[in-house]
Amino acid sequence: MFLIGIPLLVIPFAVYNMVEFLTPGATAGAMWTHPLFSVQMMSGATWTLTVGELLLALSLLILFIELVKASRISARSLTDHLLSTLLFIGMLIEFLLVKQAATATFFLLLVISFVDAIGGYTITMRAATRNILVDQVETGPRV
């Protein structure tokens, strides 16, 4: 599969940056608090979904795909983890140095990227340990 070697969380990161830097006259974070729609709940409350919340929900779905990808042990998984770490570092630098990235939406994207980077390494190490233990059992002498 082609998408195994690249971190898919680059998609919401790119979307955030395209909206922030290519939308003329937008102030930092104003686009992300814009409501998309509202739903009247049975409790009487009104639930409103904003653009930022939708981007975060999609990022969480992508995080799930990234964690499933981390459970595979292949030559591309190390490259994927390295690129996920570089994406996290790039996002951290942007969060600290760029005014348009100083929003709650971007911060939560940064946290999702951190979970992807650390979770990817953790899941791969645990899967590799189990793989080694199974290989050791199978290579024992047969009676």
Range from 16-20, 79-83, 102-106 carrying the lowest mean pLDDT: 79-83
**Lookup: tokens for 43:** 């409790």
Of 122 and 91, the structure prediction assigns the larger pLDDT to 91
List % helix, strand, coil for the chain (3-state, nearest 5): 70, 10, 20
Of 124 and 74, the structure prediction assigns the larger pLDDT to 124
**Lookup: tokens for 96:** 């600290």
Range from 31-35, 128-132, 136-140 carrying the lowest mean pLDDT: 136-140
**Lookup: tokens for 32:** 């992300």
Q: What is the pLDDT of residue 70?
A: 81
Place of tokens 């290989």: 135
Residue range 29-38, pLDDT digits in tens: 678 888 999 9
> How does the average pLDDT of the chain come out, rounded?
84
Which contiguous run of DSSP H or E holds residue 136? Answer: helix 104-138
**Lookup: tokens for 117:** 């980077």
Report the pLDDT averaged over residues 26-30. Answer: 67
Q: Which of 11, 14, 29, 46 is nearest to 100 (CA)?
A: 29
Q: Is the pLDDT of residue 52 over 70?
A: yes
Q: What is the pLDDT of residue 31?
A: 81
**Lookup: tokens for 48:** 């409103």
Percent of the chain with pLDDT over 70: 78
Residue range 83-118, pLDDT digits in tens: 999 999 999 999 999 988 999 999 999 999 999 999
